[in-house]
Amino acid sequence: MTAVTAPERAGAPADGAAVPHYLNFIAGEWRAASSGATFENRNPADLSDLIGLFPDSGDEDVSAAVAGLAEAQAAWAAASPEIRADLLYRAAEIISGRTKEIAAELTREEGKTLAEATNETSRIAANFRFYAGEALRLKGETYPMPGGQMALSLRQPVGTVAVITPWNFPLSMAARKIAPALAAGNAVVFKPSEMSPLMGQRLVEVLLDAGLPPGLIALVHGKGPTVGKAITAADGIDALTFTGSFAVGAQIQAALGTDTRCQLEMGGKNATVVLADADLAKAAGIIKRGAFGLSGQACTGTSRVLVARPLHDALLAELVAAAEAVVTGPGDKAGVTMGPLATAAQLEKVARYLDIAREEGAEIVTGGIPDQGALPEGYWIRPTVIAGVKPGSLLLKDEIFAPVVALCPFDTLDEALEIADDTEYGLALSVVSDHLPSVLKIAEATQHGIVKVNAPTTGVALNAPFGGFKHSSNQSAKEQGGANVMDFYSRIKTVYLGA
């Protein structure tokens, strides 16, 4: 096996400048985009900090990447499950040993705090270990037939899996797709978000260092409308797993033919419902974590609070106090509890929804987009609480994907359910209450794929199924959680044994 050395990975600018030029990994080697074009990657907490230049790839690079995978995939599919499991265990060990450096780079690239970045990095080691176990648990079944005959199901890899991921969890979204894909015996072509390409790079380096056959993974950097689109049009992709926005997911679904299986996990408009018996401090703590953690940039982030009317004013006061206690700044600075937004587009989106709040006559009680002040130039936002939001408002329906929470009072449980489900999305809903019949009623009736009781909408277990309803998912297969995941990454052949 060819060792892939560090300088080849990062490349080196010919003029010896300090900015690293990163490369694609195609057909077992590190390469620039065939056009030679690059794009910049900058720190959202300090736009003067240029992290690196990445290949701005195109159709040709995607074709080469996919073509380069077939041979290694056949050998990997034939390899013993133990070999696949060992590889993933080794990858987990390597990640664990690099947690500090990768987490620091994650903060620099995406903006989340060091504590949040450390959490995410540790999580991918756990993911790799989990799917190492799944590699060993893959199985088929036998079906009794008359007269000594038998039918059996053979579970086989699907072939080449395309992985397209967003920037908000650039490690964990990718790991929870790549690890089961490899565990099941597939090859992977991976396109990380152009907003977080360095984390894609680090993940592939970890796998190669763990001993992954180089021809089994391709990393193609670039923009969604070029590389992403080229992947959806490429011959030789057997399955595509995507996490990102509904708008892009819908384009992908439309572009893929019937021969490519497709998993889409998309946006959310997650609500916490606070029932009349709720403890206010507990509810505020739950909402604070769900709404302001990760700068509100989690697909399961709390974006709406539906509160029993008698509790409204007191909960609003608690939330405002919680928001104002948040310390915003660069995520690597001691004492900072919330980093910036990750992209310029995110900041523009928040500004649009704050305008909508003003136009609708809602009250931005605290937060908004602050003056830069002493902070470096970056995508800064303060945790924002909006009150006086009426049912039907876009603030209660659209994904904002920021630390912005809209409050709306309700009078009955049915009304709370109606407002909660009055959105195109259906990802996560949490309920704060100890009244079991009400909690169960909501859990059973709501059109959200994840329901959490006395817990924030964010934070999910890697061994439990994950996925939304409606525009949050195409519901072809759940992510995480074991056997259901492996169904997406493998296919069943039925074999009949005659007498």
The residue ranges that bind ligand NAD (CB under 6 A) are 164-169, 173, 191, 193-194, 224-225, 228-229, 232, 243-245, 248, 251-252, 265-268, 299, 399, 401, 427, 468, 472
100: left (phi over 0), alpha (psi -120 to 50) or beta: alpha
For residue 214, the 8-state DSSP code is G
Q: Which is nearer to ligand NAD, 163 or 206 (CB)?
A: 163
| DSSP-based three-state secondary structure for 36 | coil
Q: Which is nearer to ligand NAD, 272 or 366 (CB)?
A: 272
Q: Which is nearer to ligand NAD, 225 or 310 (CB)?
A: 225
For residue 164, the 8-state DSSP code is E
Q: Which is nearer to ligand NAD, 468 or 481 (CB)?
A: 468
Kindly state the smallest distance separating residue 342's Cβ from ligand NAD, in Å.
8
Closest CA to 39 of 30, 50, 27: 50
Amino acid (1-letter code) at residue 60:
E
Selecting among 109, 265, 318, 399, the annotated active-site residue is 265
Q: Which is nearer to ligand NAD, 269 or 312 (CB)?
A: 269
Those residues whose C-beta lies under 8 Å from the C-beta of residue 63, and which sit 6 or more positions away, are 230, 234
Q: Which is nearer to ligand NAD, 344 or 483 (CB)?
A: 344
Q: Helices (H) and strands (E) in the chain — how many of each?
A: 16, 21
Closest CA to 249 of 392, 424, 39, 419: 424
Kindly state the smallest distance separating residue 167's Cβ from ligand NAD, in Å.
5
For residue 290, what are its two tokens? 């769900």
Cα 377 from Cα 133, distance rounded (Å): 45
Cα 304 from Cα 386, distance rounded (Å): 9
Q: Which is nearer to ligand NAD, 215 or 378 (CB)?
A: 378
Kindly state the smallest distance separating residue 54's Cβ from ligand NAD, in Å.
12
Q: Is 299 a catalytic residue?
A: yes
Q: Which is nearer to ligand NAD, 232 or 393 (CB)?
A: 232
* ∠ CA 159-220-94, rounded to 5°: 80
Give 305: exposed, middle or buried? Use CB within 10 Å, 0-12, 13-18, 19+. buried
For residue 211, the 8-state DSSP code is T
Across 428-443, b (16+ Cβ under 10 Å) vs e yields bbbbbbeeeebbeebe
Closest CA to 410 of 436, 382, 434, 390: 390
State phi, psi for 363 to the nearest 5 degrees: -110, 120
Kindly state the smallest distance separating residue 417's Cβ from ligand NAD, in Å.
22
Taking CB atoms, the residue at the shortest distance from ligand NAD is 224
Kindly state the smallest distance separating residue 236's Cβ from ligand NAD, in Å.
16
Kindly state the smallest distance separating residue 112's Cβ from ligand NAD, in Å.
13
Kindly state the smallest distance separating residue 225's Cβ from ligand NAD, in Å.
5
Kindly state the smallest distance separating residue 487's Cβ from ligand NAD, in Å.
18
For residue 2, what are its two tokens? 């060819």
How far is CA 477 from each of CA 112, 228, 261, 263, 453, rounded to the nearest angstrom?
29, 21, 10, 6, 24
For residue 360, the 8-state DSSP code is T
Kindly state the smallest distance separating residue 371's Cβ from ligand NAD, in Å.
26
Kindly state the smallest distance separating residue 1's Cβ from ligand NAD, in Å.
29
Selecting among 299, 318, 399, 408, the annotated active-site residue is 299
Q: Which is nearer to ligand NAD, 278 or 402 (CB)?
A: 402
Amino acid (1-letter code) at residue 226:
T
Contact by Cβ (8 Å): 91, 182 = no
For residue 256, the 8-state DSSP code is S
Cα 154 from Cα 139, distance rounded (Å): 8
Contact by Cβ (8 Å): 480, 463 = yes
Cα 455 from Cα 432, distance rounded (Å): 7
Q: Which is nearer to ligand NAD, 213 or 378 (CB)?
A: 378
Contact by Cβ (8 Å): 188, 202 = no
State phi, psi for 169 to the nearest 5 degrees: -125, 75
Q: Is 408 a catalytic residue?
A: no
Catalytic residues: 265, 299
